[in-house]
Structure 1
């Protein structure tokens, strides 16, 4: 129970920081809105091979990929605020308190996940205005997949930050990890449109299964096996990422 209480206390403090600086949310929404406004209108023709005969169909394919990009890039960027706290001695001051080291990590990761989820909800609302239609129940399940992706990305980001602890190295490292992972997930265009060698490579990317599952949900294909495969993979790997990150956090901070 102590770990839950400590996590809640850290989460509340971190969420209060976000509320006091709402510009973080606004800035985070700019890129998805720009992609919906300027890139999505090109999709009806580009996605015709997948049966997209209208913008309604195109948004069902594109929006899940856009949400996945938000989870991957936004989650992996979570290490930069932590790096700032390490540099300013915020984490060091928490060392003298009885707060659990795991709670210090989980509270921050849940803050990042909440922020990304809020951005995802607004992105979907904008997409609904633009013409997207999706079953509410399936949308809720897609948000669960999104939440797991965000939490996993944030945990990996914290682990990389604790391992590197350097601005000059962390930025290139995040880019090196995020770009191939995102592209092999099919966030912009589905991997099914890619050459065979690229499709075979994407099967080894866990985020590919999550994106494929989200697309199946947006298209109303609840019987698609990729949904459950994606959920299982995300639950297992998110648990592993949080455990790995927590151990690094505990050993490097204590």
Structure 2
């Protein structure tokens, strides 16, 4: 109970800080919306599909996974600023759970990501996208697990390096191959066999395939449950690792 209460307190504080400066939510939505408006119309002839709805069933899930990955991976910059300001050090004198210090922040990031995902989905509905509500909620669960995992990983790396100059190139180095090997913008079915084989080792490619299956109404596709299990395991591992670093940094 103490962990839940402490996590809720940290979440409330972090959410309040975000709401005081909502421009970050708008900035987070702007780039995906530009992809939705300016890139997605090219997909119908490029993919050889019959309707815009089919093109958006392929593109929108990848776009949402992209948002979850990148939105989480760069959260560590805010934590480094808090470290520099002494916020984390002052946590030493509080009885708040060290795990809650991480979970409260990561849950704030997850809620922010889901808010952006809802906005993008609603815009996509105006472009003939159709998705079953139950499948959509499962897709949002996939996104939440991705966001929880990537934000926890980013916080852990930030605590380890304690420098924006190190964190920025490190996260970019991780993000680029993840993007290219997950089939986010275009399905990997169009890729040569060797590239598909390499992508099979990228856990995010399973998440993208599972999310696309949910958007096209294929709830029973193996990729859905494989993606959910993989993301859940990685999220638990990332939270556990980052929480240990959090506890070490505030002792």
> Which residue of structure 1 lines up, in the alignment, with residue 17 of structure 2?
17
Deviations 1:26-59 (A, max 9, x none): 11110011000100000001212xxx21111000
Deviations 1:165-214 (A, max 9, x none): 11111100010011111221111111111111110011111111111000
- Please state how far the C-alpha of 1:90 moved relative to its aligned partner: 1.0
Q: 1:215 aligns with which of 212, 217, 228?
A: 212
Aligned residues: 251
> Which residue of structure 1 lines up, in the alignment, with residue 176 of structure 2?
179
- Please state how far the C-alpha of 1:94 moved relative to its aligned partner: 1.6
Greater shift in the superposed pair: 87-96 or 113-122:
87-96
Q: 1:125 aligns with which of 115, 122, 127?
A: 122
> Which residue of structure 2 lines up, in the alignment, with residue 46 of structure 1?
46
Say whether residues 1:108 and 2:105 are aligned partners.
yes
Unaligned runs of 5+ in 2: none
TM-score (norm 2): 0.98
CA distance in 2, matches of 1:185, 1:95: 40
- Please state how far the C-alpha of 1:252 moved relative to its aligned partner: 2.4
Greater shift in the superposed pair: 60-69 or 185-194:
185-194
CA distance in 1, matches of 2:239, 2:74: 16
> Which residue of structure 1 lines up, in the alignment, with residue 136 of structure 2?
139
- Please state how far the C-alpha of 1:154 moved relative to its aligned partner: 0.4
Secondary structure of the residue that 2:182 maps to in structure 1?
coil
Say whether residues 1:84 and 2:81 are aligned partners.
yes
Deviations 1:76-120 (A, max 9, x none): 011011111111111111221111111101000001111111001
Secondary structure of the residue that 1:186 maps to in structure 2?
coil
CA distance in 2, matches of 1:189, 1:8: 38
- Please state how far the C-alpha of 1:253 moved relative to its aligned partner: 2.7
Unaligned runs of 5+ in 1: none
